[in-house]
Amino acid sequence: MQYRGIAAAPGYALGTAFLLQEKEIPVIKQNIAAEDTGAEIDRLEKALCQAIREIEKIQEETRQKLGDDKAAIFAAHIMLLTDPEYIGNIKQKIVAEAINAEAAVKEVTDHFLNMFACIEDEYLRERAADLRDVSQRLLKRLQGIQSVDLADIAENVILCAHDLTPSDTAQLDRNKVVGFVTNSGGRTSHSAIMARSLEIPAVVGLMDITAKVRPGDFVIVDGNEGTVFINPPNELIEQYREKKAQFIKRQKEAKKLVNEPSITLDGTKVELVANIGNPEDAKWAVANGAEGIGLFRTEFLYMGRNELPSEEEQFEAYKTVVTMFGAQRPIVIRTLDIGGDKELSYMDMPKEKNPFLGYRAIRLCLDRPEIFKTQLRAILRASAYGNIKLMYPMIATLQELRAANQILEAAKQELASENIPFNTAMEVGIMVEIPAVAVLADQFATEVDFFSIGTNDLIQYTMAADRMNEKVSYLYQPFNPAVLRLIQGVIAAAHKAGKWVGMCGEMAGDLAAIPILLGMGLDEFSMSANAILPARALLRQLTQKDAQRIAQAVLKMDDAKEIRDFVEQAVSAIVTLR
């Protein structure tokens, strides 16, 4: 039987199914006497101390196995267990409602998880896994429940679970667990990120794979295509053994390209840069040969706290990333992209019927210039230390762009009057994620230094289909001819005006899309760090002329699947001939 999910970590794995079925921790709400609430808080404090000690142990093991950047995930877990808002609300509920600690933990956690569930941004939405992981650990300590120790698995297996927490994933022994599959999760979940670090093939979001597989079944995990096979025929097993051998060979070759330029066989140079969500991600980007940062999401500075970040705090975060890459490498910082779908407890934001098209990103920033200017000042100050480029998200009109630039100019004047250094020639660009901007790209190109095409939103807005809605997810088509023509138009308009164009959506790291985008003339490809080396290896096997021929051919086609299949076949033929 074959099942399709989300390709979370590349590679191929073949092995015996190990079914991990941790039961949901039962929480019974109990009323306690008012005079006993102090003792209940003491019980909570004891459980918190135990949980923190466990996480610190996992953190150290992860540091030794994967490095500081991946161990930082658990620093975030410890921060949650010491967070005044999260823990404070639990304690307050125990006292105010005179209930047991378990019930208070569950109710407060559920409240925050519901908030995360409404967030559109996949990266931020997946951070709910951290909170769920931490809360489950805390409940286990309160109830004295022992966790399953995944390090004790005695044979090479395919781990099958409803979900894997970051703590679970960190404890996996890759000599024993050769792959994993889960019912839930996405590409940006911490378990997926760590699976890529551990180089364990993984497929997530399979909905009900734990109901389909039985312990001892033979399972194939295709982490490239997002498919899982249960008890496949011998011919397919042999095919995948060969695929696995070839994949391992290609991976070894790709790792030799960490310090090599991203250049085609006929000398066309492009930039392969990384998307990051915080300074820790930048370390992983450097290790994977990123030539800079094409999208620095700044929302992490605003989430999981009780107040807005200060200018100084933001400045230090931006400066940290610049320092990692050096003075010349480009660092594209996206200004705050938060709003109706990303609630912050300390900001009074209206409830909206359609927050994805509502009060968010640049719209919020222009309405609250004091918040916006603080961030702009921090970015400008950091620009004195390297090649920072500023990018506005969710721009829809030229008037919005001009209004944002007016606030930027005011921030520059303030810094100049205070004798604070900044790069007066810092480049300023916009994300092209709204079709209206793509259509008028020629007009916008005269007022910006660069474009960065945000394909995740551009595709869903062009196709009028919510990419998170399973009922219409079939319409989320990166290779749809309408989407490709919009992209082509944006690149052509920018180049005519002498401006460069990047792309920071998932499409930029799709190996089937790269030849098309290269052929259209895309200058910069920004992707997840683990996609950089495979992309570089592909680019170095193509010529610009190859890519132009492919792009010209697909722009005449009328079907997304036909286009993807054509590109894959064309590239395979080119690489085979060489």
As a whole number of angstroms, the distance between CA 220 and CA 13 comes to 6
* Vertex 160: Cα angle to 155 and 164 (nearest 5): 105
DSSP 315-364: HHHHHHHHHHH-SSSEEEEEPP--BTTS--TTS-----SSGGGSSBHHHH
Q: How far apart are CA 340 and CA 120, in angstroms?
A: 10
What is the DSSP pairing of strand 450-453 with strand 428-432?
parallel
DSSP-based three-state secondary structure for 429: strand
| Token reading at 345 | 């407890």
Task: Classify residue 525 by burial, with Cβ atoms within 10 Å: 0-12, 13-18, 19+.
Answer: buried
238 annotated to bind ligand: no
- 540 assigned to a ligand binding site: no
Please check if 562 is assigned to a binding site. Answer: no
Kindly state the DSSP code that residue 306 receives in the 8-state scheme.
S
Q: What is the DSSP letter of 159?
A: E
How far is 287 from 277, CA to CA, in rounded Å?
Answer: 16
Instruction: Name the nearest CA neighbour of 55 among 171, 196, 160, 229.
Output: 171
Angle at 219 between CA 213 and CA 224, to 5 degrees: 115
Q: What is the distance of C-alpha 262 from the center of its chain?
A: 23
- Binding site annotation covers 457? yes
Residue 96 sits at the vertex; the CA angle it makes with 90 and 100, to the nearest 5 degrees, is 55
Question: Phi and psi at residue 54, in whole multiples of 5°?
Answer: -65, -45
CB 328 within 8 A of CB 387: yes
Cα separation of 437 and 396, whole Å?
A: 6
User: How many of the other CB atoms lie within 10 Å of CB of 157?
Assistant: 22
What are residue 59's phi and psi, to 5 degrees?
-60, -45
Q: Is 268 helix (H, G, I), strand (E, B) or coil?
A: coil
Q: Which of 77, 160, 365, 504 is catalytic?
A: 504
Please list, in sequence order, all residues whose beta carbon lies within 8 angstroms of the beta carbon of residue 49, skipping any fewer than 6 positions away. Answer: none
Annotated binding residue at 578? Answer: no
Residues in the chain: 578
Measure the CA–CA gap between 430 and 560, rounded to whole angstroms. Answer: 27
Q: Which one from 77, 190, 365, 495 is the annotated catalytic residue?
A: 190
Strands (E), 231-342: 271-276, 293-297, 330-334
Pairing relationship of beta strands 330-334 and 157-161 according to DSSP bridges: unpaired
Q: Which of 207, 228, 225, 205 is closest to 217 using CA atoms?
A: 228
- Give the number of other Cβ atoms within 10 Å of residue 498's Cβ: 9
Calculate the CA 305 to chain-centre distance: 20
Q: How far apart are CA 321 and CA 483, in angstroms?
A: 33
Active site residue 77: no
Let me know if 365 is a catalytic residue: no
Q: What are phi and psi of 390, to 5 degrees?
A: -100, 140
Q: Is 297 annotated as a binding residue?
A: yes
Strand 12-20, strand 293-297: pairing: unpaired
Binding residues for Mg(2+): 433, 457
Binding residues for phosphoenolpyruvate: 297, 334, 456-457, 467
Query: Which residues carry out catalysis?
Result: 190, 504
Binding residues: 297, 334, 433, 456-457, 467
